[in-house]
């Protein structure tokens, strides 16, 4: 089933060590890959991201330079994973951006399933495939990403992003981030990027002016 033309290479560290907003936009279309212990690949195309800009960003866990056991991984150099538990039950996966000690990251909010769909169905136990990876907690569940992946390099063998084609700019929609109403002015910053019209995009479905 998983016959791709050719396997794209892993994104290099240089991809991540740039402006966070650039990384967030260009990650749309790239392929998040999880390799299980038995060697099986489970993957999906990234269709929704959010940028978190560090000290000056009230919505970021590293806001105000907060540096604790949980946020420590945000201070790693670009190209590492930041995975945290939210609401006591779900994990969220982020890629760290920029250089060491610049605590910025991109939250991966939704994927379009590509490989290992049967495995995802088993993990998620949901009726509709649309619910497999259409949210940050859902995709971690589907790809079996958990706290054990916090801090790991995205050039590792178990979790990485492949350099498939980025979504062209005219198909990218931008809006405020989800679930950060408490962040005052930062709550309105246009730091959420998503593939226009893609059914796997989470949250408020853009009032599809379907006509």
**The one among 77, 126, 153, 164 contacting DNA by CB under 7 A:** 126
E strands along the chain, which residues? 31-35, 41-52, 81-86, 90-97, 104-115, 159-162, 172-175, 192-195
Tokens of 90: 């779900």
Q: 117 or 139: whose CB is closer to DNA?
A: 139
Pick the closest to residue 34 from 167, 171, 183, 149 (CA basis): 149
Under the criterion CB under 7 A, does residue 24 sit at the interface with DNA? Answer: no
Site string for DNA, 177-206 (x = CB under 7 A): xxxx-x-------------------x----
Q: Which is nearer to DNA, 37 or 77 (CB)?
A: 77
Shortest Cβ distance from residue 6 to DNA (Å)? 31
Q: In angstroms, how far is CA 177 from the centroid of its own chain? A: 13
- Residue 140 beta carbon to DNA: minimum distance, rounded to whole angstroms: 8
Q: Which are the contacts of 28, defined by CB distance < 8 A and separation ≥ 6?
A: 46, 47, 48, 49, 166, 167, 172, 193, 194, 195
DSSP letter at 132?
A: S
Residues comprising the chain, all counted: 211
Q: Are strands 159-162 and 31-35 parallel, antiparallel or unpaired?
A: antiparallel
The binder of DNA chosen from 11, 60, 186, 195 (CB under 7 A): 60
Among 16, 52, 160, 200, binds DNA (CB under 7 A): 52
Instruction: In whole angstroms, give the CA distance from residue 89 to residue 152.
Output: 21
**x-or-dash string of contact with DNA, 71-100, rule CB under 7 A:** x--x-------x-xxxxxxx-x-x------
119 belongs to the binding site for DNA (CB under 7 A):
no
Binding site for DNA (CB under 7 A): 50, 52, 59-62, 66, 68-71, 74, 82, 84-90, 92, 94, 105, 107, 124, 126, 131, 135-139, 177-180, 182, 202
């Amino acid at each position: 089933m998983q016959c791709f033309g050719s396997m794209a290479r892993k994104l290099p560290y240089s991809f991540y060590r740039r402006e966070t907003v650039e990384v967030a936009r260009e990650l749309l279309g790239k392929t998040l890959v999880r390799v299980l212990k038995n060697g099986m690949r489970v993957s999906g195309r990234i269709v929704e991201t959010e940028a978190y800009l560090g000290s000056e960003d009230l919505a970021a866990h590293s806001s105000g330079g907060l540096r604790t056991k949980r946020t420590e991984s945000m201070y790693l150099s670009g190209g590492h994973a930041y995975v945290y538990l939210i609401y006591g039950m779900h994990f969220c996966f982020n890629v760290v951006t920029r250089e060491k000690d610049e605590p910025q990251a991109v939250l991966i909010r939704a994927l379009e399933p590509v490989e290992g769909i049967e495995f995802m169905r088993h993990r998620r136990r949901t009726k509709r495939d649309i619910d497999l990876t259409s949210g940050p907690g859902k995709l971690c569940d589907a790809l079996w990403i958990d706290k054990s992946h916090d801090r790991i390099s995205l050039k590792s063998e178990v979790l990485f992003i492949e350099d498939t084609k980025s979504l062209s700019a005219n198909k990218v929609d931008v809006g405020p981030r989800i679930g950060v109403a408490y962040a005052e002015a930062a709550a309105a910053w246009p730091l959420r990027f998503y593939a226009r019209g893609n059914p796997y995009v989470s949250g408020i479905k853009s009032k599809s002016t379907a006509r």
